[in-house]
């Protein structure tokens, strides 16, 4: 099973990203997915987590992921050394930041700059999704784009698809 944890702040769209990834993966046959947020009080700006589990057989365990293949941070103020505790042995972190992090387990992307250019808003959920697609190879880019169309309101489609493409190229370098 492939397990992805999404870290964000309320309003940054972490659960939306978890859902779009699940929808994208489910576009292939014989796939099983669970996508859910951490169930707790929700406030704008407060740290929240969301989870995506991907497999080729039914998934029975509905509890929160404790060890991830990928742990994704939409906001680098949420990132700390503790992040490594929730990784599987070969697990990786994808971090939205302008900083350079010297650790082979961490992939960084300047999502804020891509967001500013394509969305005009500091919302990086679909950007980190594009980065995950490039780094992990779990889901083809076309499936992510189709899932964006199915999940988001139509007025957001083209901007977000452009942002996903840009992040996919940037992270794939």
**Pick from 8, 13, 22, 91: which binds another protein (CB under 8 A)?**
22
Site membership for another protein, residue 34 (CB under 8 A) = yes
Site membership for another protein, residue 63 (CB under 8 A) = yes
Q: Which residues contact 157 (CB under 8 A, 6 or more apart)?
A: 148, 149
Q: Hey, which residues between 35 and 54 contact another protein (CB under 8 A)?
A: 35-37, 39
Here the tokens at position 158 are 């083209």
Alpha-helical segments (H) within 8-123: 14-26, 111-118
Alpha-carbon distance of 57 to 173, in angstroms, equals: 32
**Pick from 8, 12, 23, 69: which binds another protein (CB under 8 A)?**
23
Closest-CA residue to 49 (of 65, 33, 32): 65
Query: Which stretch in 30-38, 88-96, 106-114, 132-140 sits in contact with another protein by CB under 8 A?
Result: 30-38
Q: What is the CA radius of gyration of the chain?
A: 15
Size of the residue set binding another protein (CB under 8 A) = 20
Dihedral sign for Cα atoms in the order 83, 78, 98, 53:
positive
Closest-CA residue to 87 (of 59, 114, 107): 107
Q: Hey, which residues between 121 and 160 contact another protein (CB under 8 A)?
A: 150
Q: Is 171 helix (H, G, I), strand (E, B) or coil?
A: helix
**Pick from 9, 10, 31, 162: which binds another protein (CB under 8 A)?**
31
Site membership for another protein, residue 26 (CB under 8 A) = yes
**Shortest gap between Cβ of 20 and another protein (angstroms)?**
9
Site membership for another protein, residue 55 (CB under 8 A) = no
**Pick from 45, 46, 59, 103: which binds another protein (CB under 8 A)?**
59
List contacts with another protein (CB under 8 A). 19, 22-23, 26, 31-37, 39, 58-64, 150
């Amino acid at each position: 099973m492939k397990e992805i944890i999404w870290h964000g702040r309320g309003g940054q769209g972490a659960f939306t990203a978890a859902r779009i990834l699940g929808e994208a993966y489910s576009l292939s046959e014989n796939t099983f997915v669970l996508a859910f947020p951490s169930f707790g009080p929700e406030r704008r700006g407060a740290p929240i987590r969301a989870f995506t589990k991907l497999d080729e057989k039914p998934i029975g365990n509905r509890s929160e992921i404790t060890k991830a293949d990928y742990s994704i941070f939409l906001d680098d103020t949420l990132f700390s050394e503790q992040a490594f505790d929730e990784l599987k042995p070969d697990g990786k972190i994808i971090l939205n930041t302008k900083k350079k992090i010297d650790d082979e387990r961490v992939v960084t992307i300047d999502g804020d700059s891509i967001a500013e250019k394509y969305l005009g808003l500091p919302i990086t959920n679909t950007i980190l999704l594009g980065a995950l697609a490039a780094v992990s190879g779990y889901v083809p880019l076309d499936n992510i784009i189709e899932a964006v169309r199915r999940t988001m309101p139509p007025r957001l489609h083209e901007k977000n698809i452009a942002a996903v493409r840009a992040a996919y190229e940037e992270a794939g370098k």
